[in-house]
Amino acid sequence: MVKNSARAVELFHALADSTRLEILDELKGGECCVCELTDTLQAGQSRLSFHLKVLKDAGLILDRRDGRWMYYRVNAEALDELDELVDSFKQARKARRTASCC
């Protein structure tokens, strides 16, 4: 069983959208200004803001303000958390393979 299932749901919900995955894909190259994301993803500001909020609320991205611009980057600690979560599923699968069902 996942230690914190509510956290797992939050993370997987944030990842369960193609726009949010595109945002993360853009941010894997480093920090981006919101205006760069808007241009690159060809997304409206309100639509992009919604998806950025979901990612930020899940802790997958971090932001910082510089003057009137917001910059976003991937939160490496959240990626480590995702790695641990996926590894826990892998370990459970391996344990089940060796156990008898009857």
pLDDT tens series, the chain, 102 aa: 556 789 899 999 999 999 999 999 999 999 999 999 999 999 898 999 999 999 999 999 999 999 999 999 999 999 999 999 888 888 866 666 665 665
Q: Is the dihedral of CA 6, 17, 76, 79 positive or negative?
A: positive
**What residues make up the domain containing 67?**
5-85
Task: List the CATH number of the domain containing 28.
Answer: 1.10.10.10
Domain assignment of residue 93, yes or no: no
Domain tally for the chain?
1
Q: Examine residue 76 and state whether it is found in any structural domain, yes or no.
A: yes
The answer to whether residue 92 is domain-embedded is no
Residues contacting 2, CB < 8 A, separation 6+: 8, 85, 88
> Does 80 reside within a domain?
yes
